[in-house]
Amino acid sequence: MPEEKFDLASFKKVGMIQQKQLDYFAMRLRAVAGDLTTKQLRKIAEVADKYGKGEVHLSTRQGVEIHNVHHTNLEKARLSLEEADIKMGACGPRVRVIVACPGSATCKWGIIETKKIAHELDAKYFRQDTPHKFKIAVTGCPHNCAKATENDVGVMGGILPKWEKEKCIDCGLCVNVCPTQAISKKDNEYILDIKKCIYCSICTSLCPVSSWVIAKKGYTVFIGGTMGKIPRLGTRVRDLVEDKEELYELIDKTLKYYQKNGRKKERFGRTIDRIGVEKVKKEIL
C-alpha cells in the first residue's frame, strides 16, 4: 500500500499533505501574516514549475501551497525553497501559521502592529503540539479583517474613546457614524455607552475637530473561536490589554491550559464549552 511508504504524521507536521493521488503531496508553505517577498514568490513559481504542475493554491489562511509534488521530489523541492528562506507550514494537531491583517503598518484603521505580533508569536509557538489544530490570528482593529473571532486565540486592536467638550462644534457626525449607536447626545453633551462601544476608533478618526480622543489603546483577546463543522465565535475574555507583555502572558497561559485540558481532536472552543467559560477564565486570567 502506498500509505506505508511514508511517515505521514511527520510529513503533516511540516506541512506536507498527502493528496488523494497517494504518491503526490501538497506542500504548505509558511507565510507568517500572509507576507512573502517577490523574490520568494519567484522561487515558489520556480519550484511549482519544476516539481509541481506549474500551479499554486492560495489557502484560506493566507498560505501558499504547491500541489501535485511527487513524493520522490519533496526533499528536493523543500531544499530549493529554503534557498529563498521559505520554510514549510504546518498541518495536524499543532499551532498553525499565524495570520494577520496589515495593521498599523499600512492600514488607515490599523491600531496595533499586527505583523510584529504575528512574528513574535510565531517565533514562540509555531508547530507546538496541541490536542487538535490551534489557530491564532492578529487583527488591527474591530473591523476584524483577519477574523480574530474565528480563531482559537484572536488578538484585536482597539481604542476606548473619550469626549472632550471644549473642542466640540456639535456637528453630530459621531452620532451618525458610530456603528453600534454607542454615542448619543443629551442636554448638549455627547455620551458614550461603554456597554455598546466596540473600540473601533471610527469616532476618534472621523471627528473633524478631534473632540473624540483616545483614552485607552490596547489588545482585546478572544478565545475558542472556530469555523469548520461546528462553528463557534471566540469568547471575549479581555478588553484592551495595554501592556504587550501582559497580552503575551495571557496567550501563554491560554495555550498551556488547552494543552493540559483539551481532549484529542477537541477544538479549544469545545474544551471551553465542556469545562465552562467562567472556569476557564478563572484559570487563564
Partner 1 sequence: MDFEVKKKIDLHGVSCPMNFVKTKAALEGINSGEILEVILDEGDAILNVPRSVKEEEHKIVKVIPCDTTYRVFIKKK
Q: How far is the CB of 170 from partner 1 (least distance, A)?
A: 8
Distance CA 26, CA 9 (A): 14
9 contributes a contact to partner 1 by CB under 8 A = no
- Is 22 among the residues that bind partner 1 (CB under 8 A)? no
Q: Which three cell numbers stand for residue 11?
A: 510529513
Which residue lies nearer to partner 1 by CB, 138 or 202?
202
Q: Is 169 in the site for partner 1 (CB under 8 A)?
A: yes
Q: Give residues with Cβ within 8 angstroms of 122, minimum separation 6.
A: 32, 97, 98
Q: Phi-psi region for residue 15, left (φ > 0), alpha (ψ -120 to 50) or beta? A: left
Residue 199's Cβ-count burial label (10 Å; 0-12, 13-18, 19+) is buried
Which grid cell is 267? 477544538
Contact segment (CB under 8 A) with partner 1 among 122-130, 198-206, 215-223, 269-277 equals 198-206
Other C-beta atoms closer than 10 Å to the C-beta of 263 total 11
Are 137 and 98 a contacting pair, CB within 8 Å?
yes
The distance of closest approach from Cβ of residue 273 to partner 1 in the complex, given in angstroms and rounded to an integer, is 35
87 CB burial (10 A radius; 0-12, 13-18, 19+): middle
The residue among 93 and 102 lying less far from partner 1, judged by its C-beta, is 102
Cα gap 214→162, rounded to integer Å = 6
Which amino acid would we find at residue 277?
V
Residue 204 C-beta: closest distance to partner 1, Å: 11
Q: Return the number of the residue (37 or 176) whose C-beta is nearest partner 1.
A: 176
Binding mask 123-162 for partner 1 (x = CB under 8 A): ----------------------------------------
Candidate residues 39, 53, 194, 208; the one interacting with partner 1 per rule CB under 8 A: 208
By rule CB under 8 A, what count of residues binds partner 1? 12
Contact residue for partner 1 among 21, 106, 176, 180 (CB under 8 A): 176
Q: Smallest distance from the beta carbon of 19 to partner 1, in angstroms?
A: 42
Which has the closest alpha carbon to 181: 172, 170, 192? Answer: 192
Segment interacting with partner 1, rule: CB under 8 A, options 85-93, 169-177, 183-191, 235-243: 169-177
- Least distance (Å) from partner 1 to the CB of residue 112? 19
Pick from 194, 209, 230, 277 the residue near partner 1 by CB under 8 A.
209
d(CA 163, CA 32): 38
Selected from 108, 186, 264, 282, the binder of partner 1 by CB under 8 A is: 108
Q: Which residues bind partner 1 (CB under 8 A)?
A: 108, 169, 171-173, 176-177, 202, 205-206, 208-209
